[in-house]
Structure 1
């Protein structure tokens, strides 16, 4: 009888452990309790903004092509926002719109690899003359405005982005996507 009890207990224990966290559907649109931006909102905003930049360049074609340096998005909110998720979705959508991103942060690494290939120690020789310089910079930041309306806490987070021409430093395009939400009452909401 002791063995039967241990067997039943083991089965119940295994089934209990396997019913941990419930997998949620990635396509379901959720709103964060704190009012912060969700990953779906970040991706949606990134794709919308990248499409608009694609339209801008279709209407204003460049002879030499379009090479954009995209600086990491700055988070100026009280929330921990995955800005890398926004940046990755943004760059991916830019590429689909034939707007190419120059990774200026990896330029030193590229120069080191080219220098090594020119040493003659590799089978293929890279050319330093093929490096691209950006003709535009893209800067994005996420900021927030916290306020009350009719006694309710409201969180408004905005993704602001601008396209700046490198040679003239003129902002040639600018846009904003905002999300306004009511924060949850109690300890889970935004602390202000």
Structure 2
């Protein structure tokens, strides 16, 4: 009886594994049927743009160092795009290029922790004078344009990024990365 139960369990496990989702190679380049940017495209664009900013600062070194405030990427498309994935890859690549990101959104939390440490209730005292202010900030947005070409619907999504000097508000560098995709044809007509 135990042997039959064991065999049935093994058959069930094999059947469940065979009909479950199949793991795909994450180095394979896919195009989304929806027309939205894939995680690979987002990461590739983030790394390319961060490397270009790294080149800009190698050509234009800053004596005080480079501290960038990166504001969350704005998604102005019809698709749900994981902008956080782009932002995380972008910041990670900036750090590898020795460009540091100042998290302006967490400044209040930092000030609260510093105030608590100065109350004398902690073993180590933090100094408020060590907070960094950004000397540049980065704005990024993803835009979309849909059009037809030779009767085929095309969607073009562009990642636009701008590096602005804080003191002068001058945009010192700007770039974009675009992806064009053809709509998917199926039994239900044309869709994204």
> TM-score scaled by structure 2?
0.93
Q: C-alpha distance in 1, partners of 2:3/2:100?
A: 66
Output the aligned Cα RMSD: 1.7
Q: C-alpha distance in 2, partners of 1:172/1:180?
A: 27
Q: Matched residue of 2:169: which SS?
A: coil
Matches within 5 A, 1:1-16: 9-16=8-15
Cross-structure match for 2:24? 24
Cα deviation code 1:108-137 (max 9, x no counterpart): 000000001101111110000000000111
From the superposition, tell whether residues 155 and 119 of structure 1 become closer, same or farther in structure 2 (CA, over 3 Å).
same
Q: Matched residue of 2:185: which SS?
A: coil
Further displaced range: 107-116 or 4-13: 4-13
Q: CA deviation at 1:24?
A: 0.4
From the superposition, tell whether residues 4 and 131 of structure 1 become closer, same or farther in structure 2 (CA, over 3 Å).
closer
Q: C-alpha distance in 2, partners of 1:53/1:61?
A: 12
Give unpaired runs (5+ residues) of structure 1. none
From the superposition, tell whether residues 7 and 62 of structure 1 become closer, same or farther in structure 2 (CA, over 3 Å).
closer
Q: C-alpha distance in 1, partners of 2:100/2:2?
A: 67
Q: C-alpha distance in 1, partners of 2:21/2:135?
A: 47
Cα deviation code 1:40-83 (max 9, x no counterpart): 01000000000000111111111111100000000011111110
Q: C-alpha distance in 2, partners of 1:15/1:82?
A: 34
Q: C-alpha distance in 1, partners of 2:2/2:91?
A: 60
Matches within 5 A, 1:125-164: 125-164=125-164
Q: C-alpha distance in 2, partners of 1:3/1:165?
A: 73
Q: Matched residue of 2:56: which SS?
A: helix
Q: Matched residue of 1:93: which SS?
A: helix
Give unpaired runs (5+ residues) of structure 2. none
Q: C-alpha distance in 1, partners of 2:2/2:100?
A: 67
Q: C-alpha distance in 1, partners of 2:105/2:125?
A: 23
Q: Matched residue of 1:144: which SS?
A: strand
Cross-structure match for 1:189? 191
Cα deviation code 1:70-116 (max 9, x no counterpart): 00000011111110000000000000111100000000000000001
From the superposition, tell whether residues 54 and 16 of structure 1 become closer, same or farther in structure 2 (CA, over 3 Å).
same
